[in-house]
Amino acid sequence: MDGSNHSRVSEFLLLGLSESPEHQRILFWMFLFLYLATVVGNVLIILAIGSDSRLHTPMYFFLANLSFTDLFFVTNTIPKMLMNLQSQNKAISYAGCLTQLYFLVSLVALDNLILATMAYDRYVAICRPLHYTTAMSPRLCISLLTLCWALSVLYGLIHTLLMTSMTFCGSRKIHYIFCEMYVLLRLACSNTQINHTVLIATGSFIFLTPLGFMVMSYVWIVRAIFQIPSASSKYKAFSTCASHLAVVSLFYGTLCMVYLKPLDTYSMQDSVATVMYAVVTPMMNPFIYSLRNKDIHGALGRFFLGKSFRG
């Protein structure tokens, strides 16, 4: 090919889920509702935990950070998508696309690592209750969170820097709601072998290692719960883990729908699956954690109604 075909692109076109004006109007209001619900839900979780000293515990410390991550995650993608749905201009600059990719990759990894840390917290609380206060000290919690952030930032930097070495030619159209890594690799006309190798190696470490850790944690948790003689105590112990299990299942279930398939088989159906983990999961997390959580209900009641509220 000649040099002009290999010139660096200045922008991409985010076409989203549909190019039909009627569909785009429906999608705009749907995603606006999902975005507002996600923002409100996660902000309420953060406010409840931050304003009530009774919730200043390791479990709620990590939950507040999970809500912050989800809030950051959807704000990285949905506002731009809403602008595209309302505008005839679907363009996103090359730099903007890589910035979106960096935060997307980093925040997905951070979500995953925080979920693994929360599993460890539940393991210590149920399997080693007498040592919980010392084992999950504030210093350790901050150190674990710092490690999660450091690994996530490094993971995002690696893949974003590798993407900058790609040459794009031909189509600039992205049939997704954001700049997704696999879609960009499909658009690249240079060799992507290094990207794929690094993606598999780092992805296995960032995602499969925490998943294995969570599985092992819950094996020990289930064994410990079955050794509890009281049925009510068993239920209470399991209920503290049920929300976390639901969120982990939703997170990994939606990721598997998108990424456990060969790159060359990506289709429009994967765009819908992407919406599940990029939009629906962050929206569902606060509702899953607060649905039957009396501590969160009480903290929100006291925040809005004052200290006289009895939650």
Q: For 72-82, what is each residue's pLDDT tens digit?
A: 999 998 998 88
Query: What pLDDT score does 308 carry?
Result: 53
Global pTM value? 0.88
**Does pLDDT of 34 surpass 60?**
yes
Q: CA 150 from chain center: how many Å?
A: 16
Place of tokens 């690994």: 151
Region 86-114: mean pLDDT is 90
Fold of 21-297: Rhopdopsin 7-helix transmembrane proteins (1.20.1070)
pLDDT band at 186 (very low <50, low <70, confident <90, very high): confident
pLDDT band at 13 (very low <50, low <70, confident <90, very high): confident
Query: What pLDDT score does 263 carry?
Result: 57
Query: What pLDDT score does 284 carry?
Result: 86
Query: What pLDDT score does 265 carry?
Result: 58
Read off the pLDDT of residues 120-151 as tens digits, 9 standing for 90 and up: 999 999 999 888 999 999 999 999 999 999 99
Q: Are 121 and 59 in contact (CB under 8 A)?
A: yes
pLDDT band at 260 (very low <50, low <70, confident <90, very high): low
pLDDT band at 6 (very low <50, low <70, confident <90, very high): very low
Listed by start position, the domains of the chain span 21-297
